[in-house]
Copies of this chain bind each other. A is one copy, B any other.
Amino acid sequence: MAWNLDSQRPIYAQIIERVQYDIVSGHYNPGDKLPSVRELACEASVNPNTMQKALSELEQSGLVYSQRTTGRFITKDTSCIRKIREELAKQQVLEMIRRMKQLGFTKEETLTLMDKIYEEATYEHTIGV
């Protein structure tokens, strides 16, 4: 799967976000071992230092932990994972609503547009994942 990193935001920040989503969405399971820093760096076409920085920062969230010489693992604390998943979802919706209000869309107009886009997505496969 492609990493789709752009240069608009710091790469390490995009990596953090990506792995975070991979964890809370169940792509990785609790207790899973992550590929090594070097492997992930290669996979993402990124310098190992950048990947290292991203992963070590990600540890602050509690989603992953590292064992000095055996590797890096997904937390087994499922409630932590669930909690962050909820947070991310709320964040997304909140940000969208904020922007739509900025654009002068009412709740109803927003819902109408959402419905339309969901329909399109269903038939045209516009939305990935």
Are A129 and B114 interface neighbours, CB within 8 A? no
Residue from B21, B90, B107, B111 within 8 A of A113 (CB atoms):
B90
Encode contact with B along A89-129: 1 for CB under 8 Å, 0 otherwise: 11011111111111111010011011001100100001111
Are A89 and B105 interface neighbours, CB within 8 A? yes
- The verdict on A88 contacting chain B, using a C-beta distance below 8 Å, is yes
Residue from B85, B96, B104, B107 within 8 A of A25 (CB atoms):
B104
Beyond A89-B100, A97-B117, 14 additional contacts (C-beta under 8 Å) are: A21-B99, A25-B102, A85-B103, A88-B99, A88-B103, A89-B105, A89-B113, A92-B100, A93-B100, A94-B126, A96-B96, A98-B127, A102-B129, A111-B111
Are A89 and B107 interface neighbours, CB within 8 A? no
- The verdict on A40 contacting chain B, using a C-beta distance below 8 Å, is no
The CA-CA distance from A95 to B89 in the complex, in Å, is 12
The CA-CA distance from A121 to B105 in the complex, in Å, is 15
The closest CB in chain B to the CB of A114 belongs to B93
